[in-house]
């Protein structure tokens, strides 16, 4: 009897040892910390990634799906495209300014890493002096608050007044039905803690907010959408907000709009203008949904479209 039991268990033990040897080290399955550091004149720029969001771009872009799928294939991509969500931390030397804050928990579990990446990058949320919001969609304002508390306790938050009037408006929330309510609830839970603390200041006109950072209204994506121009020692970075969402499609053909725009016609005109000037002047651009680290240059492709050239990887020196 003992022999009969021993024999099969010995075989199983041998099999287990073999399986363990073949399995090797377990896969780590997490990404490197999502921050990227560079300089712009005297300023230090840190791109902060919040994670990625899967976007079924062939459904959302305003052109036939087969055209989108062909453009994606040229970039070795398939829909849904894992789309970066980024914020930009600018240390001017006298002010620490964050532009956009990611989604936190508003857009699901693949996002919400911006604050931990900010900490990994060597800063603390309480050091942030000013936060400028490109527009009040959840993936840009969500990181401002957690459980209705301010995540950046010492920061003044600024965003376009037209967006504040629209998204922080209880009457608009009451009128909305179903999922459309989220469009208002997200901004409200994120920004109202700052409003209550007297730390929200709407931007009413194009202006210099701190030395070296200016706001420019271009309201097609949302009514009060703003791009921010960062400039130091003659070097310039223009943060385009959501003037584009799908880099593998919209640089080559900036005429393609997306369903997320409140006025796609205006948004398209703004995108074309932004790309044309960036290509002409040769300055650096950044945008929330460019692939992390979301910085690069634009040049014309000779056919009325553009090519995005991501930055070379560099170490701070
Ligand atoms: Zn967005």
Look at residue 300 and tell me if it is in a domain: yes
What's the CA angle centered on 226, arms 158 and 240, to 5 degrees? 120
CATH at residue 242: 3.60.15.10
Look at residue 316 and tell me if it is in a domain: no
Residue 22, token pair as written in the block: 């073949």
Look at residue 65 and tell me if it is in a domain: yes
Residue 281, token pair as written in the block: 């002047």
User: What is d(CA 108, CA 140) in angstroms, rounded to the nearest whole number?
Assistant: 14
Q: Against a cut of 0.85, is the pTM above it?
A: yes
What's the pLDDT score for residue 274?
98
Look at residue 74 and tell me if it is in a domain: yes
Q: Which residue has the higher pLDDT, 16 or 196?
A: 196
Q: Identify the helix (H) or strand (E) that includes residue 89.
A: strand 81-91
CA of 17 to the centre of ligand 1 (A): 50
Residue owning tokens 């009514």: 223
Q: Which residue has the higher pLDDT, 16 or 166?
A: 166
Question: pLDDT-based confidence at 223, cuts 50/70/90?
Answer: very high
User: Residue 228's closest CA among 158, 316, 161, 290?
Assistant: 158
Query: Do residues 281 and 35 touch, judged by C-beta distance below 8 A?
Result: no
Q: How many percent of the chain have pLDDT more than 90?
A: 92
Print the domain residue range for 150.
34-310
Look at residue 111 and tell me if it is in a domain: yes
CA of 19 to the centre of ligand 1 (A): 46
What's the pLDDT score for residue 1?
41
User: What is d(CA 302, CA 280) in angstroms, rounded to the nearest whole number?
Assistant: 13
Using DSSP's 3-state secondary structure scheme, residue 149 falls into: strand
CA of 29 to the centre of ligand 1 (A): 26
What's the pLDDT score for residue 317?
81
User: What is d(CA 158, CA 191) in angstroms, rounded to the nearest whole number?
Assistant: 10
Question: What DSSP string describes 192-217?
Answer: HHHHHTT-EEEE-SS-EEETTEEEEE
Look at residue 159 and tell me if it is in a domain: yes
As a whole number of Å, the end-to-end CA separation of the chain is: 74
Q: Measured on CA atoms in the order 276, 248, 257, 35, is the torsion positive or negative?
A: negative
Look at residue 268 and tell me if it is in a domain: yes
> Residues with Cβ within 5 Å of ion ligand 1?
137, 139, 242
Q: How many domains are contained in the chain?
A: 1
User: What is d(CA 130, CA 76) in angstroms, rounded to the nearest whole number?
Assistant: 39
CA of 240 to the centre of ligand 1 (A): 11
114-152: per-residue pLDDT in tens? 999 999 999 999 999 999 999 999 999 999 999 999 999
Look at residue 249 and tell me if it is in a domain: yes
């Amino acid at each position: 009897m003992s022999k009969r039991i021993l024999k099969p268990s010995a075989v199983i033990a041998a099999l287990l040892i073999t399986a363990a040897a073949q399995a090797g080290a377990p896969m780590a399955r997490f990404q490197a910390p999502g921050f990227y550091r560079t300089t712009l004149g005297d300023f230090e720029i840190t791109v902060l990634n919040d994670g990625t969001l899967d976007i079924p771009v062939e459904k959302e872009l305003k052109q036939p799906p087969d055209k989108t799928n062909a453009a994606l294939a040229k970039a070795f991509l398939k829909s849904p495209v894992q789309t970066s969500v980024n914020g930009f931390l600018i240390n001017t030397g006298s002010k620490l300014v964050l532009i956009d804050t990611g989604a936190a928990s508003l857009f699901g579990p693949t996002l919400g890493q911006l604050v931990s990446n900010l900490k990994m990058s060597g800063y603390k949320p309480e050091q942030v002096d000013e936060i400028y919001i490109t527009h009040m969609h959840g993936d840009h304002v969500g990181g401002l608050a957690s459980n209705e508390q301010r995540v950046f306790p010492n920061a003044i938050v600024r965003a376009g007044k037209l967006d504040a009037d629209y998204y922080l408006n209880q009457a608009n929330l009451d009128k909305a039905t179903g999922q459309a309510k989220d469009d208002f609830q997200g901004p409200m839970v994120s920004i109202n803690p700052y409003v209550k603390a007297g730390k929200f200041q709407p931007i009413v006109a194009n202006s210099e907010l701190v030395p070296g950072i200016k706001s420019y209204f271009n309201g097609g994506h949302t009514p009060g959408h703003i791009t921010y121009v960062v400039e130091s020692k003659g070097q310039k970075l223009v943060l385009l907000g959501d003037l584009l969402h799908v880099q593998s499609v919209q640089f080559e053909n900036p005429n393609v709009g997306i369903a997320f725009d409140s006025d796609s016609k205006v948004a398209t005109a703004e995108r074309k203008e932004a790309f044309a000037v960036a290509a002409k002047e040769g300055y650096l651009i950044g945008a929330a949904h460019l692939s992390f680290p979301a910085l690069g240059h634009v040049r014309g492709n000779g056919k009325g479209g553009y090519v995005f050239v991501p930055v070379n990887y560099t170490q701070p020196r």
